[in-house]
Amino acid sequence: MYTKKSGRAPAILALCGLLLAVFAFFPAGCSSQKKSLTAGETRATENAQGGQTPQIQPATLSPGPAGGSAESAADAASGASVAADWEVALEGRRKDTLSQAYYQKLKSAGREYLRKTVDKKGISVEYSGLSLGAVLAMVDGSDATHPFSFDADLWAKGYDIVLTAADGYSVSFSTKDIGPQTLILADMEAGDYLAKPMIVGDAPKNLWVKDVVSISTSLAPGLASAEAETFTLELDINGTKASLSLAELEKDPAYGEGTGSYTTSAGTKYTNAYGGVSLSALLGRYMELAAQDSVTFVATDGYEMTYPGSLILDESDGKWLLAFKLDGEYLPKDPGYIRTIKVGPTAPNIDGHSSVKMIKKIVVRQEGFKDFTLSYSGKKDGSLDRSTVQSCVSCHGREVAFERKDIKAKYKGFPLHLLLAYADDPLYAPHKQGSDILAYDAAAARAGYGVEVVAEDGYSIRLDSRDLDNNNDIILAMYRESDSLGPDEFPLVLVWDKNAARVPEGIKNVKRVSSIRLLF
């Protein structure tokens, strides 16, 4: 979405440029107010040439050339009108807010306002904006007022950045792998103002984020907050309950440190030094963990992930930690205070969804783990393992009240239409590219194709994609009455809400679902 170009007379625009230059003499009043880790294999161009991190000067509001800065003069010449007010929340060593008005003042000063020409679906598009380094200069140190000094050494040493969009989409990376001028917080696209700023630049497209509302870092103080000091990890191990504070965990004899890594679904790999308590040692004080036992981690935001005991017991390449330190610093609330990671001499790498963050509770049940895979086929074929399905339920969970014959129960799972995105085109799958490319082909779904839901015994039904499109009442459920499915329904069951506004023609309750087929 863009604002239309203004039709103001040139004289008025010249006056606006003059006013911007005048305003640039005065310091901006930043209102002080009160989520993970390598950004792909691509390094910034400036790092590749000589390996040096460019120095960003403090973002001072000195006036530009007569009549305004080069950029403000260009704006006047093009007739582009400034977008409506927006704000971006910043969190580092301190918290602040980058307002649209203050952004314009930094822009008019002419420092660190860069142009980036990128390929967007085969078309070269030019974006203009402040370098990410210049933006984070506001919160990477203790200085709370203008002018802010950018800490290049701190950036080079490495810390994590989380970019979050208005719709909740977020992506994270380490400054070790991205130069401070590689990404920009753009306010203009192809000469027009953006309605909301966008992160874009010479980096993997999964790091491009439109409609940015917050930029947070791992620079936040560790155990400084009262909330962290009072945080406790809850344990429910085969019926035995206990709780441990972070202070108790740090003094635990099973505390250790090591290097580990994980790779996100978008292909971004993060490698860091972690400190925490050995998971197997901690659980071993309460029970003898067996391969088929289930270990469920529950996060503060309700996210859940279950490991089989065999995964934790396998220490061939390293040990699982309940980590609360990252590169010697305490983890902030997000992605901490506690997360799971595997560490060892070879920096073992795990899937991102297996590195559970923000852990609040651990529940262990004997012989409770059953693995499964869900296959899909269509324009793209593949399968999802249990952890991916469980992650989907945690992130996109939907509970329905299902009634049929002798069944009357509440089920929880994820909307079936979300699964279609994995097989509805040959190129894109969920979470495998930037937020500007939608994996789900809504146009194809609305045009219509067949969707077969197949059970383990071969039984199947065929539905119409038009009945499933954006229909959150038709789900593949993983839980019944907040518990795992019984053997007659496991691993997944097709159910729908009794009050669903749209019930697909020919739908039937399919138990023990094993695959989905898209028929074009």
Inside any domain, residue 3: no
**Enclosing H/E stretch for 445:** helix 442-447
pLDDT for residue 105: 86
pLDDT tens column, 436-449? 567 789 999 999 99
Q: For residue 12, what pLDDT band results from cuts at 50, 70 and 90?
A: very low
Does 274 sit behind a cis peptide bond, omega within 30 degrees of 0 on the bond before it?
no
* Pairing outcome for strands 349-351 and 255-263: parallel
Inside any domain, residue 490: yes
Q: Crossing angle of helices 10-23/70-78, nearest 10°?
A: 160
Q: Are residues 107 and 186 in the same domain?
A: yes
Top-confidence residue, 301 or 480: 480
Q: CATH number, domain at 35?
A: 3.90.420
- What is the average per-residue pLDDT within 249-265? 90
Using a 10 angstrom Cβ sphere, with 0-12 exposed, 13-18 middle and 19 or more buried, the burial of residue 10 is: exposed
Top-confidence residue, 237 or 226: 237
Would you say residue 47 has pLDDT above 70? no
Share of the chain above pLDDT 70, in %: 80
Question: In the listed set 152, 185, 217, which residue is the last one of a domain according to the structure?
Answer: 217
- CB-CB contact of 156 with 174 (8 Å): no
Q: Are residues 393 and 351 in the same domain?
A: no
Question: In the listed set 331, 346, 365, which residue is the last one of a domain according to the structure?
Answer: 365
pLDDT for residue 127: 95
Would you say residue 4 has pLDDT above 70? no
Question: In the listed set 365, 389, 404, which residue is the last one of a domain according to the structure?
Answer: 365
Top-confidence residue, 173 or 225: 173
How many angstroms separate the CA atoms of 176 and 215, rounded?
Answer: 17
How many angstroms separate the CA atoms of 265 and 175, rounded?
Answer: 20
Q: Are residues 275 and 337 in the same domain?
A: yes
pLDDT tens column, 292-313? 999 999 998 888 899 999 999 9
- CB-CB contact of 412 with 394 (8 Å): no
- CB-CB contact of 194 with 211 (8 Å): no
Q: CATH number, domain at 283?
A: 3.90.420.10
Q: Are residues 57 and 197 in the same domain?
A: yes
Would you say residue 108 has pLDDT above 80? yes
Would you say residue 3 has pLDDT above 60? no
Q: Are residues 202 and 230 in the same domain?
A: no
Q: Which structural domain range is residue 398 located in? A: 373-519
pLDDT for residue 432: 66
Q: Are residues 358 and 385 in the same domain?
A: no
CB-side neighbour CA atoms (13 Å) of 153: 1
Average confidence score pLDDT of the chain = 81
- CB-CB contact of 67 with 17 (8 Å): yes
Using a 10 angstrom Cβ sphere, with 0-12 exposed, 13-18 middle and 19 or more buried, the burial of residue 12 is: exposed
How many angstroms separate the CA atoms of 444 and 432, rounded?
Answer: 20
- What is the average per-residue pLDDT within 170-179? 88
pLDDT for residue 433: 61
- CB-CB contact of 137 with 58 (8 Å): yes
- What is the average per-residue pLDDT within 69-87? 54
Token pair in block for residue 129: 């904006």
414: Cβ contacts below 8 Å, ≥ 6 apart: 389, 392, 393, 396, 397, 398, 475, 476
pLDDT tens column, 278-291? 999 999 999 999 99
Would you say residue 59 has pLDDT above 60? no
- What is the average per-residue pLDDT within 153-170? 89
Helix (H, G, I), strand (E, B) or coil at 387: helix
Inside any domain, residue 266: yes
Q: Are residues 249 and 293 in the same domain?
A: yes
Q: Are residues 80 and 150 in the same domain?
A: yes
Polymer length in residues for the chain: 520
Radius of gyration of the chain (CA): 26
Inside any domain, residue 1: no
Sheet harboring 513-519: ordered strands across?
A: 382-385, 373-377, 513-519, 450-455, 460-464
Top-confidence residue, 83 or 424: 424
Inside any domain, residue 2: no
- pTM confidence score: 0.54
pLDDT for residue 67: 32
How many angstroms separate the CA atoms of 159 and 170, rounded?
Answer: 17
Top-confidence residue, 511 or 157: 511
Q: Are residues 71 and 117 in the same domain?
A: yes
Facing residues of 245 across strands? 232
Q: Are residues 178 and 152 in the same domain?
A: yes
Would you say residue 71 has pLDDT above 50? no
Facing residues of 515 across strands? 375, 454
471: Cβ contacts below 8 Å, ≥ 6 apart: 415, 416, 417, 500, 502, 504
- What is the average per-residue pLDDT within 243-261? 92
Q: For residue 143, what pLDDT band results from cuts at 50, 70 and 90?
A: confident
Nearest partner of 284 among 235, 323, 344, judged by Cα: 235
How many angstroms separate the CA atoms of 92 and 136, rounded?
Answer: 8
DSSP 311: H
pLDDT for residue 482: 84
Token pair in block for residue 18: 């003059």
Inside any domain, residue 4: no
Sheet harboring 160-165: ordered strands across?
A: 95-99, 87-91, 212-217, 160-165, 170-174
Classify the C-alpha dihedral 412-418-423-427 as positive or negative. negative
Facing residues of 188 across strands? 128, 193
pLDDT for residue 225: 52
pLDDT tens column, 191-217? 999 999 999 999 888 899 999 999 999
The number of folded domains in the chain is 3
Top-confidence residue, 466 or 76: 466
Top-confidence residue, 68 or 342: 342
Q: For residue 492, what pLDDT band results from cuts at 50, 70 and 90?
A: very high
Number of C-beta neighbours around residue 175 at 10 A? 24
pLDDT for residue 370: 87
Q: Are residues 377 and 357 in the same domain?
A: no
Nearest partner of 478 among 420, 416, 406, 405, judged by Cα: 416
Inside any domain, residue 26: yes
pLDDT tens column, 239-251? 889 999 988 998 9
Torsions phi, psi for 404 (to 5 deg): -165, 125
- What is the average per-residue pLDDT within 351-380? 90
Would you say residue 131 has pLDDT above 80? yes
Facing residues of 128 across strands? 115, 188
Would you say residue 431 has pLDDT above 50? yes
Inside any domain, residue 511: yes
Torsions phi, psi for 47 (to 5 deg): -75, -35
Share of the chain above pLDDT 90, in %: 54
Residue with tokens 């089920």: 411
DSSP symbols for 236-273: EETTEEEEEEHHHHHH-TTEEEEEEEEE-TTS-EEEEE
pLDDT for residue 16: 40
Would you say residue 15 has pLDDT above 50? no
How many angstroms separate the CA atoms of 417 and 445, rounded?
Answer: 9
Q: Are residues 198 and 239 in the same domain?
A: no
Top-confidence residue, 224 or 375: 375
pLDDT for residue 394: 85
pLDDT for residue 80: 54
